[in-house]
Amino acid sequence: MTEMPGVAEQTAPAAARWEDLIDIIFSPAAVFRRRADESWKPTFLLLVGVSVVLYYVLFPVQQIVARAQLTDPAQLQAYEQYGRMFSLVGGIIIVPVGIAVVLLATAAWLWILARLVEVRLAFNRMFLITALTALLGPLAQLVTSAVVFLKRNGDLHPKHDLSIGVLPFLDPAAVPDTLVPVLARVAVFPIWQAVLWGVGIAIFARATKAQAAIVAGVAWITAAAPQVVFALLRG
Which of 66, 58, 110 shows the shortest CA–CA distance to 219? 110
Answer yes or no: is pLDDT of 212 > 80: yes
* pLDDT tens readout for residues 73-105: 666 666 666 666 777 777 788 899 999 999 999
Answer yes or no: is pLDDT of 5 > 70: no
Where does the pLDDT of residue 50 fall: very low under 50, low under 70, confident under 90, or very high at 90 and above? very high
d(CA 92, CA 162): 23
* pLDDT tens readout for residues 198-211: 999 999 999 999 99
Answer yes or no: is pLDDT of 235 > 70: no
Residue 84: what pLDDT?
66
* pLDDT tens readout for residues 108-163: 999 999 999 999 999 999 999 999 999 999 999 999 888 887 776 667 777 777 78
What is the mean predicted confidence (pLDDT) over 38-45? Answer: 96
Beta bridge partners of 94: none
Task: Write the CA distances from 105 to 18, 26, 44, 142, 235, integer angstroms.
Answer: 25, 26, 15, 24, 25
Residue 173: what pLDDT?
77
Mean per-residue pLDDT over the chain, rounded: 85
d(CA 59, CA 53): 10
Answer yes or no: is pLDDT of 4 > 70: no
Domain segments of the chain as ranges: 18-234
Secondary structure, 3-state, the chain: CCCCCCHHHHHCCCCCCCHHHHHHHHCHHHHHHHHCCCCCHHHHHHHHHHHHHHHHHCHHHHHHHHHHHCCCHHHHHHHHHHHHHHHHHHHHHHHHHHHHHHHHHHHHHHHHHHHHCCCCCCHHHHHHHHHHHHCCHHHHHHHHHHHHHHCCCCCCCHHHHCCCECHHHCCHHHCCCCCHHHHHCCEHHHHHHHHHHHHHHHHHCCCCHHHHHHHHHHHHHHCCHHHHHHHHHHC
pTM: 0.85
Where does the pLDDT of residue 2 fall: very low under 50, low under 70, confident under 90, or very high at 90 and above? very low
